[in-house]
A = this chain, B = another copy of it.
Amino acid sequence: MSPPKWHLAHTSWFFETFLLKPFLHDYQTPNEHYEQLFNSYYNGVGEQFPRPQRGLLSRPTVAEVLDYRAAVEEGMRRLLATGDHPSRDAIAQRTELGIEHEKQHQELYFTDLKYSLEINPLAPVLWPRLQSTGGATPALDWQHFDGGLVTVGCTGEGFCFDNELPPHQYFLQPFSLADRLVSNAEFLQFVISGGYQQPQWWLADGWALVQAEGWTAPLYWRRAGTGFTEFTLHGPQPLAPDLPVSHVSAYEADAYARWAGARLPSEQEWEWAAAGAELERSLRPGSPRYHPRAAGAESGVRQLFNHCWQWTSSAYAAYPGYQAASGAIGEYNGKFMSNQLVLRGSSCVTSEDHARASYRNFFYPRDRWQFSGIRLARSLHGPQGTQDDTL
């Protein structure tokens, strides 16, 4: 986990490094050490400060980071006011990337904060009250998709990241997708029935992890009497059966799906279903809310966005024809294309602008500190029929 001030400094660093230093000729950095200190992982920029030691940095103070931010904002204002800059196009592209990058860190700010609040015995909360979670979860239904040769990847006018490109044709077999996320009540059945103690549901790596870590429930569930509480950014709450299960690893999502006689969707299946769905926008009026809500009673595939990210079965990899940018900025997405899985959708703390069908989030299958949930899928092929079921 990185401290909050680190996120603020790092997003400022991004603008300074990729815009102010190369393009604003008289720019003076407030502190030349920040280049190393707030570089997250760009080898092309130089050395990085070791991540596990970020918590040991009492300097710069929050006030100094805010000064840094102000200096960068002032520099950006001056840069963008230069109407006839010879690198005008690159500046525009990178400014947009910097803004999108910052939105990603705004989400990480919330999930890092949730983790550090939960381990703190003082039990601090971000916002004291959690408003009603909506009505009862309707029974899970399946929506059928015929598949065929479809287009995957970003085709719209707006911004998208390089990992959503290029759009390309993909052949989908017929499939069904659950019309809502798996609920806490449903996942609780898996827990109660001994799912975490039965190897037959688990991928081999997942089973090894469950043993090593002693996992018996999602990250923020705590046993309380005969039931569970769930820690939220509004403090600990009795486990709400109608809310979607959240903060599960891909291994838990996969094991649950197998137990439930289903599977996780591929990212292409998810995208195809979402592209055809009406975009359910979050309404965030009234008091702040940092937690998913229950599925509504309307028909169709719901909870695609604004509740929990949804693990897919797809390894995070380059699309056919993908080409990373050259230079350090090319490290943004491409170098992480190993050992991680794609998550689709968006969560209750994601920037709303990031809610699009082609967006590809990615984490290691063991990661649980994001708002990550489960949407089930099914193939329409029957069993292959050649397998041996005798034993």
Report which A residues bind B (CB closer than 8 A).
Answer: 1, 3-4, 18, 22, 31, 33, 36-37, 41, 43-44, 49, 53, 55-60, 87, 90, 93-94, 97, 116-117, 119-124, 149, 162, 165-166, 168-171, 173, 175, 199-200, 202-207, 250-251, 254, 263, 266, 313-315, 317-318, 320-330, 335-339, 365, 379, 381, 383-384, 386-391
B55 touches A56 (CB 8 A): yes
* Beyond A165-B384, A165-B386, A329-B388, 17 extra complex contacts between A and B, CB < 8 Å: A18-B391, A33-B122, A41-B204, A43-B200, A44-B391, A57-B120, A58-B116, A59-B124, A162-B387, A171-B171, A173-B321, A203-B335, A320-B381, A325-B389, A326-B391, A327-B389, A327-B391
- The smallest beta-carbon distance between A316 and chain B, in angstroms, is 9
CB A86 to nearest CB in B, in angstroms, measures 11
Q: A149-B171, A391-B327 are in contact. Are A205 and B37 (CB under 8 A)?
A: no
Q: Are B327 and A56 interface neighbours, CB within 8 A?
A: no
Asked whether A388 and B94 contact (CB < 8 A) given A171-B171, A173-B320, the answer is: yes
Name the residue of chain B whose CB is nearest to the CB of A37. B121
A251 to B60, CA, bound (A): 35
Residues of B within 8 A of A93 (CB): 388
> When the two chains form the complex, which single residue of B18, B43, B44, B87 contacts A207, counting CB atoms closer than 8 Å?
B43
**Residues in B whose Cβ lies below 8 Å from that of A383:** 323
Residues of B within 8 A of A330 (CB): 387
Complex interface: chain B residues within 8 A of A390 (CB): 22, 87, 90, 327
Minimal Cβ-Cβ distance residue in B for A329:
B391
User: Which B residues lie within 8 Å of A386 (CB)?
Assistant: 162, 165
> What are 25 A-B residue pairs whose CB atoms fall within 8 Å in the complex?
A3-B56, A22-B391, A31-B122, A44-B200, A49-B121, A90-B390, A97-B388, A149-B149, A149-B171, A162-B387, A165-B386, A166-B384, A203-B336, A203-B337, A203-B338, A207-B335, A315-B317, A320-B379, A321-B379, A322-B384, A323-B383, A325-B389, A325-B391, A327-B391, A329-B388
Assembly stoichiometry (copies): 4
Q: B381 near A321 (CB under 8 angstroms)?
A: yes
Complexed CA–CA distance, A203 and B93 (Å): 25
Question: Are B384's CB and A323's CB within 8 A?
Answer: yes
